[in-house]
Amino acid sequence: MKKMYLNIVAVIFLTLLSCEKKQPINANAFQNRWESMYGNLTIYPNSTFEYHRYTCISHSLSKGKWKITNDTIVLNSFEPKGCYFIENFLIGPPPKDTSTNHKKTIKDCMPNTGYIKMKNEKFYIKDSLLLFKTPFNNKELNNFYNFKRTR
């Protein structure tokens, strides 16, 4: 009888232990200025963000809204107002056909800045880093899309 009682207590204990739910991350943890190798991302308390990317020959920006899903922040850009070249958040190889013009926000405008379209770009926090959810095999690309907390 005593052995059966101990078995029941052990099963209940293990069941309760396995049911521990992970607490969703607090939105305040994301609100900060984050820096990467080629840019910075500022996440504001009013559920907006601003991202600036710098290269040796250009500057691009993005502004938009963010939301928290479990332990992940999801970024989505606003539609740009003004004259910009449209860029993706993930930088790919240049197009094979170089005769085509870059996509612009306004036809026949002469942009000198890029606008980065973020569509459901997901990040999570690990230690003091904001890590892009899509891992790359190339370590240099990981550094490009991962951010370090500045404050």
Residues 6+ apart with CB under 8 A from 68: 24, 25, 27, 30, 74
Residues 6+ apart with CB under 8 A from 26: none
pLDDT of residue 138: 55
Note whether residue 75 is domain-resident: yes
Backbone angles phi and psi of 144, in degrees to 5? -65, -35
**Which residue segment(s) compose the domain that 46 sits in?**
36-91+103-143
Domains held by the chain: number: 1
CATH at 134? 2.40.128
pLDDT in tens, 55-91: 878 899 999 999 998 889 999 999 998 999 898 888 7
Note whether residue 97 is domain-resident: no
